[in-house]
Amino acid sequence: MKQLQGVNDFVIRFANVNGSGSASANNLFAKAVFRMGVPVSPKNIFPSNIQGLPTWYEVRVNEQGYVGRRGDIDMVVAVNGQTLRQDYDSLVPGGYFLFDSSKPLPEDFQRDDITVIGIPLTFLCNETFENPRMRPLLKNIIYVGALATLLDMELQVLIDSVNRQFQKKPKLAEPNIQALELGYAYAQEHHPDTCQLKVQRSDKVGDAIIMDGNSATALGALYAGATVVGWYPITPSTSVIEAFGRYAEKYRIEADTGRIKAAIVQAEDELAAIGIVIGASWNGARAFTATSGPGISLMNEFLGLAYFGEIPAVLIDVQRAGPSTGMPTRTQQSDVLECAYASHGDTKHPLLFPCDPRECFDMTADAFDLAEHLQTPVMVMSDLDLGMNDHFGPPLSWETGRSYDRGKVLSAEELDTLTTRWGRYKDTDGDGICYRTYPGTHPEKGVYFTRGTSRDEYSAYTESSAAYQANMERLELKWETTKRLLPLARIKTPFPKARLGAIFYGSTAPAAYEAIELLHQRGIDINTMRLRAFPFQQEVLDFINNHELVFVIEQNRDGQMRTLLINEEGLPSDKMVHIGCYDGMPVASRSLVRALEKAMGGLGINLQQLSTQGGTQ
């Protein structure tokens, strides 16, 4: 049997039971690899909230810096009896199967193309540790210690990580370090030179960090000056609010009173949550909420009010495929169309699509400036994978001296010096954006909060069809202004003569970039465009028009982004090829390669001919 070999390039999957304390152990392993200077991408690929259900945690170690999910498993750490067969079968030939040998494998586990490594985790734990409540947690730490031997990792890095984790409770560090050493010693004695996958110290990390997108989003809101949060719990967005609360407690404390300078209000439902945000924003505060698909549906009516009343609001949508769609909470880009056109007819909302924690931070901060400049709701479209998993990427940064863009807000002095009558919904600059005021700015002038669209430029109620139409046309002009303010798409055209293009966005990007590189190695050249915002700019249309066929890669069944592109830009549907990933798992590059090859074959594109002719040029 030929064993898999690799230095700083493999995928390991941990198969655990949710609620067993495995997340801390698996995270300890991933962070240790990172601290050895090796790029690493950890993913909880089935983060169920239900205790006792199976959960898997994949760690991709890749010195080249590919941080998307690869697909295919090189090594499994199997400590969940419910999924033992599934985990055993999931290994690629030449892979390694580490299991708890306190109980033997079933007799029908007879693969001769993998290496089986038995570590009696339960036995070692029960023999060593007296506290029965600690044993399930420490059993996980034992297999991390064993991995340190098998992968030639530096044990001291793991010990230092444990000490750092428990620096405020050093007594808790002691049994964890003992468990690490126990697993390390057992593997040294019983499985020397068994595994040919290795982790070696490197210098490929540079200034990169590992962070989850929800924490980065919360920091972006904090740096943007958000002071009011209205929210209702819904996985996977709840941790945005929890992180914001932690950061506010640390960085937003009044020196004289010790009180937090932020109002975090849990509402009775999602509709009330967005209502809190709209009310606070109208009063001049920077306010936001965080939710997911079902929450967006419940917020629709208030989003329409904010659109037509032209009130700033920021909404963080951590998309998911959730229980309301019949699937346990998993990742999906499932809210694109719902958010783009949320509420009743003739509404459109700016959307931002971050692809890593750095962009979660930047785009959330920018969303507050955009919302106030444009006087409209702005939505940041994250997802479960991006929001809740740790990601390897560039550090967060904030421009020194950056000031907030509060948009067209009139002061009391400006109201008094106006030479013409002020109209709340009167466009004097030709960009579709009107001037507003904050409550309390002037004792007699300013401040209008009006219902719907039945009003004229001065906020007076009217049922005039001409006034309604003029207002709707001004909002359309503001939509055109919006395009000039949003972040541009990231376009890569290294193959000027390539006939094929690929479009993707959000957390799909890392796997998509890798898949395109793998296809290039096979002689198939595809230019790429990563969308970062809606509405779409001219550059997006130009990219599509410059290619004969464009693959739109996204994590939903129905091709929502493809539909949005066709609808907004009037593109021919047969030019836009949907590549859907909707199994609820983070996108894997190898699966994406297969999907693209299948799509090209179905379209009659001769892959062999493309390859022999040196690509699609």
Q: Could you give the dihedral angle defined by the CA atoms of residues 564, 566, 570 and 572, in that order, rounded to the nearest 10 degrees?
A: 180
pLDDT tens figures, 538-553 = 999 999 999 999 999 9
Flag the least confident range among 258-267, 320-329, 442-451. 320-329
Instruction: Please give the single-letter amino acid code of residue 60.
Output: R
Q: Of 327, 349, 325, nearest to 336 (Cα)?
A: 349
Flag the least confident range among 27-41, 70-84, 206-220, 443-457. 443-457
Domain membership of residue 206 (yes or no) is no
Domain membership of residue 369 (yes or no) is yes
CB 228 within 8 A of CB 286: yes
pLDDT value, residue 171: 85
- Structure tokens given for 511: 């796997």
State the pairing for strand pair 313-319/377-383.
Answer: parallel
Do both 229 and 362 map to the same domain?
A: yes
Mean per-residue pLDDT over the chain, rounded? 93
Do both 464 and 509 map to the same domain?
A: no
Q: What's the rounded Cα separation, in Å, for the pair 305 and 16?
A: 46
Burial class (CB in 10 A: 0-12, 13-18, 19+), 298: middle
Domain membership of residue 224 (yes or no) is yes
pLDDT tens figures, 218-239 = 999 999 999 999 999 998 999 9
How many domains does the chain divide into? Answer: 4
Do both 23 and 102 map to the same domain?
A: yes
Q: What's the rounded Cα separation, in Å, for the pair 280 and 435?
A: 18
pLDDT value, residue 294: 82
pLDDT tens figures, 470-496 = 999 999 999 999 999 999 999 999 999
In which element (H, E) is residue 353 found? none
CB 548 within 8 A of CB 575: yes
Do both 372 and 500 map to the same domain?
A: no
pLDDT value, residue 606: 75
Do both 41 and 136 map to the same domain?
A: yes
Do both 523 and 601 map to the same domain?
A: yes
| pLDDT bucket at 617, cuts 50 / 70 / 90 | very low
Do both 148 and 221 map to the same domain?
A: no
Return the higher-pLDDT residue of 454 and 368: 368
Would you report the helix, strand and coil content of the chain in percent, each value rounded to 5?
Answer: 40, 20, 40
Domain with 21, as residue range(s), is 6-198
Do both 293 and 272 map to the same domain?
A: yes
Q: Phi, psi at residue 453, to the nearest 5°?
A: -115, 5
pLDDT value, residue 604: 87
Do both 237 and 383 map to the same domain?
A: yes
Domain membership of residue 273 (yes or no) is yes
DSSP character string of 20-52:
SSHHHHHHHHHHHHHHTT--EEEEESS--SSTT
CA atoms within 13 A on the CB side of 359: 25
pLDDT tens figures, 172-210 = 899 999 999 999 999 999 999 999 999 999 999 999 999
- The whole-number average pLDDT for the span 243-266 is 92
Q: What's the rounded Cα separation, in Å, for the pair 422 and 318?
A: 39
CATH number, position 581: 3.40.50.920
Out of 485, 515, 545, pick the residue that ends a domain: 485
- Structure tokens given for 608: 């062999």
Q: CB count, 10 Å around CB of 306?
A: 27
Domain membership of residue 358 (yes or no) is yes
CATH number, position 319: 3.40.50.970
CATH number, position 65: 3.40.920.10
Domain membership of residue 38 (yes or no) is yes
Q: Which residue has the tokens 């410059």?
A: 546
Domain membership of residue 404 (yes or no) is no
Domain membership of residue 400 (yes or no) is no
pLDDT value, residue 169: 85
Do both 478 and 506 map to the same domain?
A: no
Q: CA separation (Å) from 157 to 149, 175, 202, 500? A: 13, 16, 13, 46
Do both 555 and 427 map to the same domain?
A: no
Do both 476 and 546 map to the same domain?
A: no
Q: What's the rounded Cα separation, in Å, for the pair 500 and 457?
A: 48
Out of 149, 177, 198, pick the residue that ends a domain: 198
Return the higher-pLDDT residue of 44 and 326: 44
